[in-house]
Amino acid sequence: MPEQFDAIIIGAGQSGPFLAARLADAGRSVALIERDHLGGTCVNDGCTPTKTMVASARAAWSARHAAQFGVVLKGPVTVDMAAVKARKDKVVAASVNGLTDWLGGLRTLKYFKGEGRFVSPTEVKVGKRVLTAPQIFINTGATASVPDWPGIKSVPHLTNTSMMNLDSLPGHLIIAGASYIGLEFAQMYARFGSKVTVIERGPRPASREDADISAAIRDILEAEGVTFMFNTTVEAVAKAGHGVLLSLKSGERLASVEGTHLLVALGRTPNTAALDLAAAGIETDERGFIPVDDHLRTRVKGIWAMGDVNGRGAFTHTSYNDFEIVADNVINGGKRSLAGRIPVYGLFIDPPLGRIGMSETEVRKSGRKALISVMPMSRVSRAKERGETQGLMKVLVDAQTRQVLGAAILGIGGDEVVHSLLQLMAAGTPYTSMMHTMHIHPTVTELLPTLLADLKPLV
């Protein structure tokens, strides 16, 4: 006989465990299914480990540039990659253990280790056990996409997940893909001491960004020794000694590059293949994502999809926000939805990029009357004092309502500073209110009123 629960959650990423806990706190019986690790990508091979390694890379960079600040270090700066990995593993373990202990203390929650698949719209099988519930929530996330290049299956290659097991320094790291994951690893390993080559089929890095932001990102990474190959596709891969050889094509020109390691960073694929969604009556879109409405409900009554698997966001914070929306709807009878969610994300190179709302390109396509202001970070006192003047700040405002449409801050603290403008957007407050507010000196945020004071028509 199927085991009865009030709710079943498949996947323990950044939505599942929190929803499970909220439901359990409300007195409902909950089955939480996870095939691998609690915490999903973020905790195990995403945000937590990579940003821990970014911090190590930052320390190496600071040590090498110490003389610029009057600090003298005797001898060359070297990086112990085994120690970097050990530190990362310790931070990850603490996060996973904390999550495990927290969920283990919830009386009405039962944890099932294994892969869940649908038997019907109300039943899920885990191993030989069948669970049933009137409400089922999918939070299975996504994994790295690996293209079917000739030779790829016979050549050792890395993804963002397997990179976490690397405890030695690549002599020459080749990265396929110049989007967010690829760029973060590129700078990180260049700072550790690897030669790094990034291959991108498009004309610039971070192609989702405006051209000026992409150009500034390129300048930052090239200044640290990263080599880019744009408008280039991979035609085939093969073993080369203890490394890998990539055959490339750029226009009509053929080329090749040889390295010790290959990292494939070409997007993510939703984890839906093993769910047997057809048994529940759920269809995916052409990319494998589960379509949902603004309340995260699938087309099948009683089934929701949260996090990366629904294609409505690809970040830890969007997944967590999915949980907040579902919990409000299901437990509190509320009406929160995706409709009011403002796009916001960061690129965690150093200095970081904070992005909110619409880009300049998107504003132009909308045809609305808008104002724009751009300021180089070289005008910011905090940046000059820190000796890190790379990047720029950009903000776009509706010319009629005076409300912020979007912003990009690429520079010191950009991922934090941009939240000040985000709050203006969320509150529907005109930008002029920030101009009349006194800020602390010397900070980056204090230049936002100056940035806004220089708004000009977007033509």
Is the preceding peptide bond at 150 cis, omega within 30 degrees of 0?
A: no
Distance in angstroms between the alpha carbons of the first and the last residue of the chain: 67
Stretch 444-449: mean pLDDT: 97
The pLDDT score that the predictor gives to residue 377 is 98
- Residue 336 scores a pLDDT above 90: yes
Tokens of 422: 């985000």
pLDDT in tens, 257-310: 999 999 999 999 999 999 999 999 999 999 999 999 999 999 999 999 999 999
Task: Based on the residue annotation, tell me whether 441 is a catalytic residue of this protein.
Answer: yes
360 CB-contact burial (10 Å; exposed 0-12 / middle 13-18 / buried 19+):
buried
Find the angle CA(291)-CA(9)-CA(126) to the nearest 5 degrees.
110
Question: How does DSSP classify residue 201?
Answer: S
pLDDT mean across residues, the chain? 96
Is the preceding peptide bond at 134 cis, omega within 30 degrees of 0?
A: no
The pLDDT score that the predictor gives to residue 135 is 98
The pLDDT score that the predictor gives to residue 370 is 98
The pLDDT score that the predictor gives to residue 199 is 98
Give the list of residues 6+ apart from residue 444 with CB closer than 8 angstroms, or none. Answer: 380, 382, 383, 409, 411, 412, 413, 414, 417
pTM of the model: 0.95
- Residue 340 scores a pLDDT above 90: no
Band the pLDDT of 194: cuts 50, 70, 90: very high
The pLDDT score that the predictor gives to residue 19 is 97
Q: Which one, of 39, 28, 10, lies nearest residue 320 by Cα?
A: 39
Stretch 360-378: mean pLDDT: 98
Stretch 436-448: mean pLDDT: 95
Task: Determine the Cα–Cα distance for residues 227 and 239; give it in Å rounded to an integer.
Answer: 22
Task: Determine the Cα–Cα distance for residues 82 and 129; give it in Å rounded to an integer.
Answer: 41
229 CB-contact burial (10 Å; exposed 0-12 / middle 13-18 / buried 19+):
middle
pLDDT in tens, 110-121: 999 999 999 999
Stretch 398-404: mean pLDDT: 98
- Annotated catalytic residue within 295, 419, 436, 441: 441
